[in-house]
């Protein structure tokens, strides 16, 4: 059994110039958890049934936040249609991976999960409560004192403390739930730049990571969590964590901080050991909005390439987590256009990564943390625009007819949401977040004169909510490369940790 942690959550406080010497062996209570034990036994069973291939030196975990099965289906059709094809026969870059599985995504206290609990399961092998990051489910949300002694440790920390390089990429804030779950411990996912009691905020934990020599590359949004209010940030403690991070490595490693896509493109990776990129104050732009406006932000594919260029310099190997966080945000706004276009950008990032890695030594996993309540319904003809209104066939099914109408006499779209803010027509405004500035508008609308394919169209919703919700059905996991044969069947989400540890033959106890 592993030794217990040297420090509790409330004592996580490494000064920028202090050496990072902690080893991330897992505590007894993490290893003895029923979730952890079940996952470990599953891995042993699966390994005994397969002919083990090469051990993975590197692991890349791609997470499409909110990228459920219906999102994959609709995005695949859209990609084909953008090429002038019917669309249904298309495959996204990762959908032809040789191994796949269904993942049961739920939290210990919720049937429909949130990202903090689901990503904790993937990174630690232990399921936990919604809203809680890497704290065992026995602790209550936002209870700093009660979380002491229940901290969980992550696959990233294990890799870092075993001499591997590590990185995180996200189109969301780097302190948001999914990326935060790779490195932080917090009983409240909202403590991104401040925390209660002796707990340490998530941004501080990121730049002061005590495992190995700290995270090697961090690229995404969320600058406001690292800078003081005097510099248009959110930190009331006056700290500039970007400056502290640079000073941490001064005289030891060449650390570089960048804030634009142009600066990232100019990085000389041959002389850079540590890289921090914070490209926006909050979340990064939706892919369609970034390209339409010409904003100087890197794409998710460009960030992925940059991260791999830096991480692959370590001959011992690396772990990289890449999240497309804004798929989730577009769904919450009820805007399928941006959710699907961000999914396509995510698929392109996977393809770009595959072109750069050696699959004999690298395991590539592509999954989601949870699904959303977008549905694909009606009986549209094959090749009908996936974002459009339903066009059916004549009674014989032999020829296309006119736009189909529902029992109320109004046309309807193929894609709709089971709940959320409902209908909005913002024309060519690609900023899906603009929906939140308008009042909810649920119920059926007459879409006869509405361009539902436009980027600013927000689908109708059945149940009125302040935002569209997550869904509780299974999500998919796709795998290729060294150790990918372990990915088969229907799995608990916490098994993902064991798949990564098993593929790399990584020891979870002190070496």
Q: Which alpha helices (H) appear in 34-185, and where do they start and end?
A: 34-49, 69-82, 115-124, 144-147, 155-161, 177-180
- Give the 3-state secondary structure of 467-503: CCCEECCCEEEEEEECCHHHCCEEEECCHHHHHHHHH
> Annotated catalytic residue: which of 115, 147, 165, 285?
115
Question: Which secondary-structure segment (H or E) carries 29?
Answer: helix 28-31
**DSSP one-letter string for 337-353:** HHHHHHHHHHHHHHHHH
| Closest to 353 (Cα-Cα) out of 295, 290, 311 | 311
What sign for the dihedral angle of Cα 278, 198, 182, 161?
Answer: positive
Q: End-to-end distance of the chain based on CA atoms, in angstroms?
A: 12
| DSSP assigned state of 133 | B
Q: How far is CA 189 from the centre of its chain?
A: 14
Structure-token pair, residue 193: 């730049």
* CA 224/CA 503 separation, integer angstroms: 37
- Cα angle, residue 309 at apex, residues 307 and 311 outer, rounded to 5°: 65
In contact, 462 and 418? CB cutoff 8 Å: yes
User: What is the maximum alpha-carbon separation in the chain?
Assistant: 76
Alpha carbons within 13 angstroms on the beta-carbon side of residue 510 total 10
Is 448 a residue of the active site? no
Burial of 266 (0-12, 13-18, 19+ CB in 10 A): exposed
By three-state DSSP, how is residue 262 classified? Answer: helix
Looking at residue 227, the DSSP 8-state letter turns out to be: S
CA-CA distance, 308 to 287, in Å (whole number)?
21
* Short-list 502, 483, 501, CA closest to 362: 483
115/132 Cα distance (integer angstroms): 9
Q: How far is CA 415 from the centre of its chain?
A: 23
In angstroms, the CA 173 to CA 178 distance is 9
Active-site amino acid positions: 115
């Amino acid at each position: 059994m592993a030794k217990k942690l040297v420090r509790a959550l409330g004592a996580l406080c490494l000064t920028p110039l202090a050496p990072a010497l902690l080893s991330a062996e897992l505590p007894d209570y993490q290893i003895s958890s029923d979730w952890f034990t079940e996952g470990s036994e599953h891995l042993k069973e699966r390994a005994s049934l397969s002919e083990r291939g090469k051990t993975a030196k590197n692991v890349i975990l791609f997470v499409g936040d909110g990228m459920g099965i219906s999102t994959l289906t609709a995005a695949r059709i859209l990609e084909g249609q953008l090429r002038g094809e019917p669309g249904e026969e298309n495959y996204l870059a990762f959908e032809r991976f040789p191994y796949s599985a269904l993942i049961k995504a739920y939290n210990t206290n919720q049937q429909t999960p949130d990202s903090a609990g689901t990503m904790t399961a993937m990174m630690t092998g232990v399921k936990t409560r919604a809203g809680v990051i890497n704290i065992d489910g026995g602790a209550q949300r936002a209870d700093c004192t009660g979380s002491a002694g229940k901290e969980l440790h992550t696959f990233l920390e294990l890799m870092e403390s075993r001499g591997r390089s590590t990185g995180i990429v996200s189109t969301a804030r780097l302190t948001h739930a999914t990326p935060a779950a790779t490195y932080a411990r917090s009983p409240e996912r909202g403590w991104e730049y401040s925390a209660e009691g002796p707990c340490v905020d998530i941004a501080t934990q990121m730049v002061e990571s005590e495992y190995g020599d700290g995270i090697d590359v961090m690229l995404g949004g969320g600058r406001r969590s690292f800078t003081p209010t005097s510099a248009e940030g959110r930190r009331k403690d006056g700290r500039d964590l970007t400056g502290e991070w640079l000073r941490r490595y001064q005289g030891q490693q060449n650390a570089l901080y960048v804030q634009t896509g142009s600066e990232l493109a100019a990085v000389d990776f041959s002389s850079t050991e540590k890289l921090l990129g914070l490209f926006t104050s909050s979340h990064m732009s939706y892919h369609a909005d970034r390209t339409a406006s010409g904003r100087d932000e890197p794409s998710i594919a460009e960030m992925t390439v940059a991260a791999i260029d830096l991480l692959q310099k370590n001959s011992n190997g690396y772990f990289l987590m890449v999240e497309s966080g804004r798929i989730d945000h577009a769904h919450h706004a009820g805007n399928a256009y941006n959710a699907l276009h961000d999914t396509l950008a995510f698929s392109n990032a996977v393809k770009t990564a595959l072109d750069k890695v050696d699959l004999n030594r690298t395991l590539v996993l592509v999954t989601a943390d949870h699904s959303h309540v977008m549905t694909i319904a009606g009986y549209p003809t094959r090749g009908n625009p996936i974002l459009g209104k339903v066009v059916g066939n004549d009674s014989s099914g032999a020829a296309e007819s006119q736009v189909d109408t529902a029992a109320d006499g109004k046309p309807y779209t193929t894609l709709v949401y089971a709940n959320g803010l409902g209908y909005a027509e913002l024309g060519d405004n690609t900023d899906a977040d603009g929906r939140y500035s308008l009042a909810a508008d649920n119920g059926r609308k007459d879409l006869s004169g509405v361009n539902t394919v436009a980027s600013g169209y927000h689908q109708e919703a059945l149940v009125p909510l302040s935002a569209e919700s997550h869904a509780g059905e299974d999500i998919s996991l796709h795998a290729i490369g060294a150790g990918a044969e372990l990915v088969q069947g229907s799995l608990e989400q916490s098994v993902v940790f064991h798949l990564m540890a098993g593929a790399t033959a990584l020891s979870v106890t002190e070496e």
